[in-house]
Amino acid sequence: MSTIERAKITQLANIQKKTGKSLDELTKLIQSSGLSKHGEIRSMLMEKLGLTYGDAHNLALYALKLDAQLAAKEKGLSTSQVLDEIYSGPKAGLRPIHDKLMNTIQGFGEFEIVPKKGYVSLRRKRQFAMLGPSTNTRFELGINIKNLEADERLLKQPEGSMCNYKVRLTDVNQVDEGVISWVRRAFDAAG
């Protein structure tokens, strides 16, 4: 088990002690809230349970990951099959962009891939990137890091967005040194 996984397990155990609720009870609380966005769930947990930002953040991620895994499991899909589903039909032409990014990022070190409905989330201690098609002809890379200099390719997102920056890509050749350096900085900052 990685250091990251051990830290997550310890934090979840501490959250259970603080709240006096099991992970099952906490997950049911989140599910019964009807909320589905990470930020909304985090805010609800901070308000209802008095959790710190970090604890609420990680508990929300745990519950959302569990939901995504259950959805994939119910469909009987592996991560690879989820990707095949995301990049099917008219979006199939965007898969090489995804593959090039993932092959490069895997060389950075250890991280977790969390498949979602239409994209994948990449995490270390916290999410550092999101990858997926935004339209049939455009791929979107979300990057979580602060204080990068935005430009015509690196688009700063409004406060409270899932990612601090987005990069829109339409061709595998756009995955260049600049894009890789932004993702690398986010990877390093997340671990």
What is the model's pLDDT at position 179? 95
**Average predicted confidence (pLDDT) for the chain:** 85
Q: H-type helices in the chain, by residue range? A: 3-19, 23-33, 38-49, 53-75, 79-86, 95-106, 177-189
Q: Are 26 and 63 in contact (CB under 8 A)?
A: yes
What's the rounded Cα separation, in Å, for the pair 15 and 20?
8
pTM above 0.75, yes or no: no
DSSP annotation string for 54-77: HHHHHHHHHHHHHHHHHHHHHHT-
The arithmetic mean of pLDDT across residues 65-76, rounded, is 56
Q: Are 17 and 28 in contact (CB under 8 A)?
A: no
Helix or strand (DSSP H, E) at 121: strand 120-123
Q: Are 110 and 132 in contact (CB under 8 A)?
A: no
Q: Lowest-pLDDT range, 44-48, 62-66, 106-110? A: 62-66
pLDDT tens profile 125-179:
888 999 999 999 999 999 999 888 889 999 998 877 778 999 999 999 999 999 9
Checking if the pLDDT of 96 tops 70, the result is yes
- Compute the residue count for the chain: 191
